[in-house]
Amino acid sequence: MRLLADFFTAVRLVFAAFIVYAGLQYGVQAFGAVAAVFLLGWTLDTLDGHLARADTSHPPSWIGSHEREVDAVMVVAGFIYLTLIGIVPVWACISYLAVSTVLLVRFRSAAVLTVLEVPLVVLVVVTAFRLEPLWGWLYVAWGLGAMILDRRRLRIRLEILWDDAQRLRDRLTSGDVEGAEER
């Protein structure tokens, strides 16, 4: 099962490359294909997590240990696509990515990464409603379905995020920024 989970994670890297390529080559005309690949990527993310957690007989592989970074690459690919098609100004994309990089290097926190990713994911959904509303509704339906089907894991993720945010806050108030690595 872990091999299949790793395969799904690796496929998401290919999807991220496709998303950027589609923006460079086809622009806004590729939005439907990009929206489908983005949604399929998040579906594979959900599946690879379940498969990896189900296989307790093997330790995480290198790619499994970097699954969170693959998530970030998918999110950034979507943001770059929106920049390439003119939804996000180039200066805003570069500024957001630069500030995000500085914050992540400085704080090394899963909570910071999540907070930085949320607006980018929401921007993809909002753009879908603007360009092709059917995709917007599909994203919303997928998100609601994922929350309902995986509500136990959602609760755990929210608890982890809350704990990460609390630890980060404690370290910031104590001045221990270097020890802010969480996951």
- pLDDT tens column, 60-102: 888 888 888 999 999 999 999 999 999 999 999 999 999 999 9
pLDDT at residue number 163: 79
Those residues of the chain that have pLDDT short of 70 are 175-183
pLDDT at residue number 40: 96
Q: Say what the pTM is.
A: 0.85
pLDDT at residue number 92: 97
pLDDT at residue number 60: 83
User: Which amino acid belongs to residue 179?
Assistant: G
pLDDT at residue number 180: 45
Tokens describing residue 119: 């607006």
